[in-house]
């Protein structure tokens, strides 16, 4: 469907990748750990490795969660846009085909959150 309007109604998307100064916006969610109140949206250089993104951005942002230090990033399973995904942590975001506004979910089945309740 499209908007009902009297005249032409067309606008450029406000969040096109060209507006992010060479970065892409990437969303990270730690599955079943809702003590982290919401997923993160971070602007990252596509040349950065996924491991760098994790170390520099994600680890400090989830550090207050008691499960955070127990994560073994080499055994974490991933979903990208809700589909199973096997990235190479030491390759760049671009090489891992991470796109603008993708939703990356990291799953740590052995860590069950606060009280073992997915929190």
Q: Point out which residues bind another protein (CB under 8 A).
A: 1-6, 9-16, 19-21, 23, 25, 27, 29, 31-32, 34-43, 57, 60-61, 64, 66, 81-82, 99-103, 113-115, 117-119
- With CA atoms as reference, report the closest residue to 49 among 66, 26, 33: 26
Q: CB of residue 22 vs another protein: minimum separation in angstroms?
A: 11
Q: CB of residue 115 vs another protein: minimum separation in angstroms?
A: 5
Q: CB of residue 16 vs another protein: minimum separation in angstroms?
A: 6
Long-range contacts, 12-17 (Cβ 8 Å, 24+): 15/101, 17/100
- In terms of CB distance, is 3 or 84 closer to another protein? 3
CA dihedral in degrees (86, 92, 95, 99; nearest 10)? 80
* C-beta neighbour count of 83 within 10 angstroms: 7
């Amino acid at each position: 469907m499209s908007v009902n309007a009297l005249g032409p109604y067309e606008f450029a998307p406000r969040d096109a990748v060209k507006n992010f100064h060479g970065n892409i916006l990437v969303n990270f969610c730690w599955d079943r750990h809702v003590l982290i109140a919401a997923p993160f949206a971070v602007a990252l250089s596509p040349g950065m490795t996924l491991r760098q993104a994790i170390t520099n951005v994600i680890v400090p942002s989830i550090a207050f969660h008691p499960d955070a230090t127990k994560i073994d990033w080499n055994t974490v399973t991933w979903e990208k846009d809700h589909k199973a995904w096997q990235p190479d942590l030491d390759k760049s975001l671009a090489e891992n085909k991470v796109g603008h506004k993708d939703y990356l979910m990291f799953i740590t089945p052995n860590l069950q959150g606060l009280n073992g309740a997915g929190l």
